[in-house]
């Protein structure tokens, strides 16, 4: 560990957790390639955590690229923009990998869409001045972020302007940019940090300006040397600290990163805000820079397409709304061994049931796993070996909670703090009995009756 | 939805949908854990055979066959598929065999094995459900059923090999106050149950189990620590056994590493395991010094097994970030 990392307020490490094979070498050295616009993009009306948007366009309307096609007045929400110029088709319903059925607007791409080089230059290229944040009004920055439809691109897709809006009761002193990317296989954040570090840092500056943070930390796992070097090079002698943290899953979880980098513990059920921190993903930071400095909405994102079941793993810059199938085709398609295609990483991602479903704002990767990767022994009896307890990053007793959920014993589930579980999957990853621990806990959390009174 | 991109002619593999995580470490299975235990028992088995020859082999074989057979039989009666493949019945049987006196009649091991599989495990619902350590249930059953065959006299029986016939060191201590020399005590060159005498061999196998993390290190640590502390106090108060004698004598080392560490009947959390181990060690010393029994490992473990649910309840860890706040 470098000297800089030891100077962090936190230890740079997390307790427990697991060390799955990262498999990042598959795609880590593949430069980001822009994917040409597909014949049709499909834009679900909910691509974030919060209120659904309402369509602003109707069938047969002609739209320009970057035009807003859906919005709402609700605060916790984010508008949706079309990445391509074209014609709006009849609204339909899509089923996303997470199982949600959502209304969606298809847009048929018009002729003459910009080529891959132009898209890359538009989204990631050019200069990203680091020094223009201080001159901006925080309100303007927040407004630009809201109008650009930014959501957290690490997975949870929480609207960014909501996260950054200053709360007088909970002042923020630190902005933490999360580039840990602790999910195995995924390299989208890594490639972004290598290829456009200035965009990440410029966005971080703007985000800090918006939320009132004075200190800025960028966290990367210690095996991602390229990302660390690129970010340190771009940061130069600024106030931005590039923090190296231990490579251990789930380092990228908010609670874990904040504790590792800053040594602060987010209370159960609370937010980083409760300890004076705002955490944003590196891709979100880059999108903030693009939204504020260039006035561009969130219409494209980097998606890692990788895994043993894909012929040529790549990092693709794709239009949001592109079907997963087009991403797989651009990477040579699936191999015969492919058995499961996962949206997101293999630990917390969702298996894709319909390859025609579109990429959304929160899609960080597509991992094609082989039969050997997903081979799972049949479930056997829990022998209470306690491995799940040994790896739980939140210090829970997963096997107890899962069995309580299976038998709907809500008192027991409460006593073992079921609601604190963040579903990272470490327990199920190590379970010698192959118990579906995460599935049981998810089911339990959804079914447990809300406490009354109190 | 859109079919524009479907023009790709190649046949697609069938894709499955399942909940995450989509990968598993795979390095650890119940079967591998049981394999680890069998491997770790090897030093003890070698010492047992070297000392007691065919008497040891016979006890282990009878108990193992009876336990595995019992498991198959009871699974069949319950209309379940027998779970012999995981090796847990074999481990139970072998531990039972090692805990019997070399001179015990053949039916003791056979009935003990059936009791271990039936009363110890099947009646509770099979692997993972039993409250008590099955091998110790089997042993307690035959000890009560055939007191003569398992009492102090059993160790004097002529079936045992010549060099090690005689009262066990703990019986000798209780009866005559005779103190066994430390060297033979730790090497196992004393009278005793088939597999309990080789304290060093048990320690070696046990350390392997802890390093492999198949056994939770907190249990033997707590148990040996508690026993040593109490033995120290007893010896200060004028007892003739030092802590080194107590740790090397009887089934303490064997029990600490191989019996008390049965995951099913011991607590789940690190803290709970230490408490469980310490309680077991304290009970062993209590029985050795104050009760009529020269030895107490079996009953100490069974008693602490009964406390496991309570220990679990009392040692629920606090989540990182504190307990879940109650909704207003």
pLDDT tens readout for residues A297-343: 999 999 999 999 999 999 999 999 999 999 999 999 999 889 999 99
B19 falls within a domain: no
Tokens matching residue A318: 């794709």
pLDDT at A172 exceeding the cut of 90 = yes
pLDDT reported for residue B166: 63
B327 falls within a domain: no
Which uninterrupted H or E stretch holds B51? helix B30-52
Q: What part of A 154-183 touches B (C-beta under 8 Å)?
A: none
pLDDT at A276 exceeding the cut of 90 = yes
pLDDT reported for residue B173: 75
Q: What domains, with CATH codes, occur in chain A?
A: 3-26+119-294 (3.40.50.11540), 40-113 (2.40.50), 299-374 (3.10.20.600), 387-453 (no CATH)
pLDDT reported for residue B5: 39
Q: What secondary structure letter does DSSP report for B162? A: G
Say if CB B77 and CB B43 are below 8 A apart: no
Q: Which of A126, A193, A149 is nearest to A296 (CA)?
A: A149
Residues of A within 8 A of B268 (CB-CB) are 384, 386, 389, 397, 399-400
Q: 3-state DSSP call for residue A306? A: strand
pLDDT digit string, tens, across residues A184-196: 999 999 999 999 9
B176 falls within a domain: yes
Listed in sequence order, the residues at least 6 apart from B44 whose beta carbon sits closer than 8 Å to its beta carbon are: B98, B195, B198, B201, B202, B205, B254, B258
pLDDT reported for residue B4: 39
pLDDT at A69 exceeding the cut of 60 = yes
Residue A280 phi, psi (nearest 5): -130, 155
pLDDT reported for residue B9: 46
**pLDDT grade for B156, boundaries at 50, 70 and 90:** low
Mean pLDDT on B2-28: 68
Mean pLDDT on B292-318: 91
B246 falls within a domain: yes
Alpha-carbon distance values, B226 to A75, A226, B286 (Å): 60, 52, 11
Q: Which of A28, A78, A26 is nearest to A320 (CA)?
A: A78
- How does strand A174-179 pair with strand A277-281? parallel
Instruction: Compute the nearest-CA separation of B31 from chain A (Å).
Output: 9
Angle, helices B30-52 vs B199-211, to 10°: value is 170
Complex ipTM value = 0.83
CB contact under 8 A, B88 and A439: no
pLDDT reported for residue B28: 78
Q: What is the pTM of this model?
A: 0.87
Say if CB A291 and CB A297 are below 8 A apart: yes
From B22, B33, B320, residue closest to A369, measured CB to CB:
B22
Listed in sequence order, the residues at least 6 apart from A55 whose beta carbon sits closer than 8 Å to its beta carbon are: A45, A69, A70, A91, A103, A105
Q: Which of A199, A71, A208, A64 is nearest to A147 (CA)?
A: A71
pLDDT reported for residue B94: 93
CB contact under 8 A, B5 and A94: no
Residue B327 phi, psi (nearest 5): -70, 140
Mutate to test the interface with A, among B2, B36, B127, B314 (most CBs of A within 10 A): B2
Mean pLDDT on A289-293: 94
Q: How many CA atoms lie within 13 A of A46 on its CB side?
A: 17
The residue assigned the tokens 């050795």 is B288
**pLDDT grade for B139, boundaries at 50, 70 and 90:** very high
- Least trusted range by pLDDT, from A40-49, B59-68, B150-159, B261-270: B150-159
Whether A267 and chain B come into contact, CB under 8 Å, resolves to yes
Instruction: Compute the nearest-CA separation of A5 from chain B (Å).
Output: 23
pLDDT reported for residue B294: 76
pLDDT reported for residue B238: 81
Count residue pairs from A and B with Cβ separation < 8 A.
218
Cis peptide bond upstream of B21, omega within 30: yes
From B22, B86, B266, residue closest to A374, measured CB to CB:
B22
Say if CB A244 and CB A12 are below 8 A apart: yes
pLDDT at B115 exceeding the cut of 70 = yes
pLDDT reported for residue A113: 86
pLDDT reported for residue B85: 76
pLDDT reported for residue B64: 94
pLDDT reported for residue A11: 87
Tell me what the pLDDT averaged over chain A comes to. Answer: 91
Tokens matching residue A241: 């600290």
From B3, B16, B327, residue closest to A451, measured CB to CB:
B327
B50 falls within a domain: yes
**Of B11 and B115, more confident:** B115
From B25, B273, B327, residue closest to A450, measured CB to CB:
B327
**Of A84 and B185, more confident:** A84
Report, in this order, helix, strand and coil percent for chain B, each rounded to 5.
60, 0, 40
Mean pLDDT on B205-210: 94
Mean pLDDT on B13-29: 83
Compute how many other C-beta atoms are within 10 angstroms of the C-beta atom of residue A137: 10
pLDDT digit string, tens, across residues B30-53: 888 889 999 999 999 998 888 888
**pLDDT grade for B296, boundaries at 50, 70 and 90:** confident
Mean pLDDT on B160-178: 65
Question: What gap in Å lies between CA A260 and CA B85, rounded to an integer?
Answer: 43
Which residues form the domain of B173? Answer: 31-314
pLDDT reported for residue A134: 84
Tell me what the pLDDT averaged over chain B comes to. Answer: 85
CB contact under 8 A, A433 and B4: no
pLDDT reported for residue B165: 56
Q: What percentage of chain A exceeds 90 in pLDDT? A: 74
Q: What secondary structure letter does DSSP report for B318? A: P
Q: How many CA atoms lie within 13 A of A240 on its CB side?
A: 27
pLDDT reported for residue B92: 94
pLDDT at A427 exceeding the cut of 90 = yes
Give the end-to-end CA distance of chain A in Å, rounded to a whole number: 47
Q: Which of A388, A352, A389 is nearest to A369 (CA)?
A: A352
Question: What gap in Å lies between CA A257 and CA A282, rounded to an integer?
Answer: 13
Instruction: Compute the nearest-CA separation of B181 from chain A (Å).
Output: 38
pLDDT digit string, tens, across residues A347-357: 999 999 899 99
pLDDT reported for residue B1: 40
Q: Count up the domains in chain B and report the number.
A: 1
pLDDT digit string, tens, across residues A235-255: 887 889 999 999 999 999 999
Mean pLDDT on A165-177: 92
Tokens matching residue A7: 């100077």
pLDDT reported for residue B126: 84
B116 falls within a domain: yes
Residues of A within 8 A of B124 (CB-CB) are none
Whether A433 and chain B come into contact, CB under 8 Å, resolves to yes
* CATH code where residue B146 lies: 1.10.3430
- Least trusted range by pLDDT, from A152-161, A436-445, B238-247: B238-247
Q: How many CA atoms lie within 13 A of A76 on its CB side?
A: 6
Residue B270 phi, psi (nearest 5): -55, -45
B21 falls within a domain: no
Mean pLDDT on B131-138: 94
Residues of B within 8 A of A354 (CB-CB) are 1
B199 falls within a domain: yes
Question: What gap in Å lies between CA A227 and CA A311, rounded to an integer?
Answer: 25
């Amino acid at each position: 560990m470098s000297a800089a990392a030891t100077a962090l307020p936190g230890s740079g490490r997390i307790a427990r957790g697991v060390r799955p094979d990262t498999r990042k070498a598959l795609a880590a050295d593949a430069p980001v390639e822009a994917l040409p616009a597909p014949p049709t993009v499909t834009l679900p009306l909910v691509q974030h955590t919060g209120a659904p948007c309402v369509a602003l366009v109707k069938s047969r309307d002609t739209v320009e690229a970057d035009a807003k096609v859906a919005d709402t007045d609700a605060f916790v929400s984010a508008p949706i923009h079309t990445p391509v110029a074209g014609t709006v088709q009849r609204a339909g319903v899509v089923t996303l990998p997470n199982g949600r059925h959502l209304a969606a607007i298809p847009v048929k791409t018009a002729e003459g869409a910009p080529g891959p080089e132009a898209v890359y230059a538009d989204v990631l290229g050019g200069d990203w001045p680091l020094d223009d944040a201080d001159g901006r009004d925080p309100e303007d920055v927040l407004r630009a972020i809201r109008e650009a439809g930014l959501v957290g691109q690490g997975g949870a897709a929480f609207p960014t302007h909501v996260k950054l809006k200053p709360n007088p009761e909970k002042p923020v002193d630190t902005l933490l940019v999360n580039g840990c990317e602790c999910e195995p296989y995924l390299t989208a954040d890594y490639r972004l940090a290598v290829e456009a570090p200035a965009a990440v840092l410029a966005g971080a500056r703007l985000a800090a300006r918006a939320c009132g943070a004075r200190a800025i930390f960028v966290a990367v796992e210690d095996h991602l040397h390229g990302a660390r070097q690129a970010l340190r090079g771009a940061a130069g002698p600024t106030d931005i600290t590039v923090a190296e943290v231990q490579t251990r899953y789930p380092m990228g979880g908010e609670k874990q990163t904040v504790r590792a980098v800053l040594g602060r513990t987010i209370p159960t059920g609370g937010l980083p805000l409760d300890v004076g921190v705002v955490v944003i993903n590196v891709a979100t930071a880059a999108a903030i820079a693009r939204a504020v400095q260039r006035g561009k909405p969130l219409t494209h994102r980097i998606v890692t397409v990788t895994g043993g079941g894909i012929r040529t793993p790549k990092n693709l810059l794709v239009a949001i709304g592109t079907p997963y199938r087009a991403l797989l085709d651009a990477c040579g398609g699936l191999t015969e061994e492919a058995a499961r295609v996962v949206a997101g990483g293999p630990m917390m991602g969702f298996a894709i049931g319909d390859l025609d479903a579109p990429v959304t704002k929160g899609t960080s990767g597509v991992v094609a796993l082989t039969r050997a990767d997903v081979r799972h022994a049949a479930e056997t009896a829990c022998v209470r070996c306690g491995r799940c307890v040994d790896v739980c990053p939140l210090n829970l007793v997963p096997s107890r909670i899962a069995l309580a959920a299976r038998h709907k014993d809500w008192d027991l589930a409460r006593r073992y703090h079921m609601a604190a579980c963040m579903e990272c999957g470490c327990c199920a990853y190590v379970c010698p009995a192959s118990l579906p621990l995460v599935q049981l806990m998810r089911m339990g959390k959804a079914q447990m009756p809300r406490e009354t009174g109190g | 939805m859109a079919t524009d991109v479907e023009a790709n002619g190649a046949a697609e593999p069938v894709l499955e949908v399942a909940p995450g995580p989509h990968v598993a470490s795979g390095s650890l299975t119940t079967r591998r854990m049981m394999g680890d235990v069998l491997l770790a028992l090897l030093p003890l088995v070698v010492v047992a055979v070297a000392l007691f020859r065919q008497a040891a082999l016979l006890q282990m074989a009878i108990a193992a066959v009876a336990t595995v057979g019992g498991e198959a039989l009871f699974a069949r009666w319950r209309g379940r598929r027998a779970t012999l493949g995981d090796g847990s019945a074999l481990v139970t049987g072998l531990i039972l065999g090692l805990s019997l006196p070399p001179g015990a009649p053949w039916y003791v091991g056979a009935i003990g094995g059936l009791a271990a599989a039936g009363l110890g495990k099947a009646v509770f619902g099979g692997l993972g459900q039993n409250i008590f350590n099955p091998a110790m249930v089997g042993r307690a059953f035959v000890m009560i059923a055939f007191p003569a065959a398992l009492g102090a006299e059993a160790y004097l029986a002529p079936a045992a090999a010549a060099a090690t016939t005689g009262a066990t060191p703990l019986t000798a201590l209780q009866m005559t106050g005779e103190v066994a020399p430390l060297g033979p005590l730790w090497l196992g060159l004393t009278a005793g149950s088939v597999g309990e005498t080789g304290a060093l061999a048990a320690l070696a196998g046990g350390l392997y189990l802890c390093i492999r993390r198949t056994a939770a290190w907190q249990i033997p640590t707590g148990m040996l620590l508690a026993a040593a502390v109490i033995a120290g106090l007893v010896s200060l108060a004028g007892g003739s056994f030092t802590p080194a004698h107590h740790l090397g004598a009887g089934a303490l080392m064997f029990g600490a590493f191989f019996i008390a560490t049965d995951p099913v009947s011991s607590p789940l959390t690190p803290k709970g395991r230490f408490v469980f181990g310490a309680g077991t060690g304290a009970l062993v010393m209590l029985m050795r010094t104050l009760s009529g029994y020269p030895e107490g490992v079996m009953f100490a473990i069974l008693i602490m097994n009964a406390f496991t649910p309570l220990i679990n309840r009392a040692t629920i860890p606090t989540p990182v970030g504190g307990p879940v706040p109650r909704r207003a």
